[in-house]
Structure 1
Amino acid sequence: MSGRVEAQLAELGHTLPEVVPPLASYQPAVQSGVYVYTAGQLPMVEGKLPVTGKVGAEVTPEEATQLAERCALNALAAVKSVAGDLDRIKRVVKVVGFVASASDFTGQPAVLNGASELLGAALGERGVHARSAVGVAVLPMDSPVEVEIQVELES
């Protein structure tokens, strides 16, 4: 089933991907009451990371911003897997993003704009959220970026 949100994603040039299978012992998303919490989503494309390394070293900030956007798409796919329809999203409540950073890189908030801007473009006012952007030494599979989201569903 696809609705307005997926149509908006298509207008933006995106197709909602398949849910990325877990890399370990967890679920891609779980629902508790009217909230859906996603696991951290890597920027996987067809089962692979398009690039690896630290932002500010092997990965440019511009590349990382695009990867954060892909993480947000993967997070939306995880939400849909438990909610059934992205049109049920009442609002994105929180986005947490992790950026594997070179020791002198401080542009984590700009990198995570890739995720935030995609959610805003796809969901309008419902996509406006609180956010944390955290620089870390390393992420799973040497991913440059990881994003998790929390959404509230219409009851």
Structure 2
Amino acid sequence: MPHPERRLDALGLTLPQVVPPVATYVPAVRSGAHVHVSGQVPLREGRLIAAGRLGDTVSVELGYACARQCALNSLAALKAEAGDLTAVARVVKALVFVASTADFTRHPEVGDGASDLLCEIFGDAGRHARSAVGVMSLPLNAPVELELLVELHQPARG
């Protein structure tokens, strides 16, 4: 598998700066071999790429793009905590929150925006368990938020 950042380059993508927290938390925390990435919303250059709810003002296609941006922001936070994306052994779990109307049921399709990108970047190591759930609202009126749990390679014992 090529270096994850070379895969990003091949896709025409670059990692953004780590999104600063909007409250009292940190973007990512390492605990042993795992990194927990805090919920990331679809901010690009300091602005939401969309606002509102799925089933109302945000289409499934735009929700997918939002989830993809959330994944890029998550990877930036992950890299800042782990030092390098090559440290990733496996993406373990993704939790996708979708701000939606009560009758919206296409949460999995929205979440695929994040999941597809993680698989494109990490190959089989990017395949993960996932939940995609609907909620009434998200911070900043974001339509999507993504939280990740990632396992890192263990250093060789000498």
TM value normalised by structure 1: 0.97
TM superposition shift of 1:12: 1.0
TM superposition shift of 1:111: 0.3
TM superposition shift of 1:50: 1.6
Unaligned ranges ≥5, structure 2:
none
Q: Which amino acid aligns with 2:42?
A: P
SS at match of 1:26: coil
Matching residue of 1:22: 21
Task: State how far apart, in whole Å, the 1-side matches of 2:62 and 2:12 are.
Answer: 17
- 1:1-155 pair list within 5 angstroms: 4-155=3-154
Task: State how far apart, in whole Å, the 1-side matches of 2:25 and 2:39 are.
Answer: 10
Task: State how far apart, in whole Å, the 2-side matches of 1:64 and 1:56 are.
Answer: 10
TM superposition shift of 1:151: 0.4
Task: State how far apart, in whole Å, the 1-side matches of 2:117 and 2:148 are.
Answer: 13
Unaligned ranges ≥5, structure 1:
none
Task: State how far apart, in whole Å, the 1-side matches of 2:44 and 2:97 are.
Answer: 18
SS at match of 1:39: strand
Percent of pairs identical after alignment? 52
TM superposition shift of 1:54: 0.5
Q: Which amino acid aligns with 1:151?
A: V
Q: Which amino acid aligns with 1:24?
A: A
Q: Which amino acid aligns with 1:62?
A: E
Task: Report Cα offsets for 1:96-130 as digits up to 9, x if no partner.
Answer: 00000012110001100000000000000110000
Task: Report Cα offsets for 1:48-95 as digits up to 9, x if no partner.
Answer: 112110011100010000000000010011100110000000000000
SS at match of 2:149: strand
* Moved segments of 4+, more than 6 Å: none
TM value normalised by structure 2: 0.95
After superposition, the CA RMSD in angstroms is 0.8
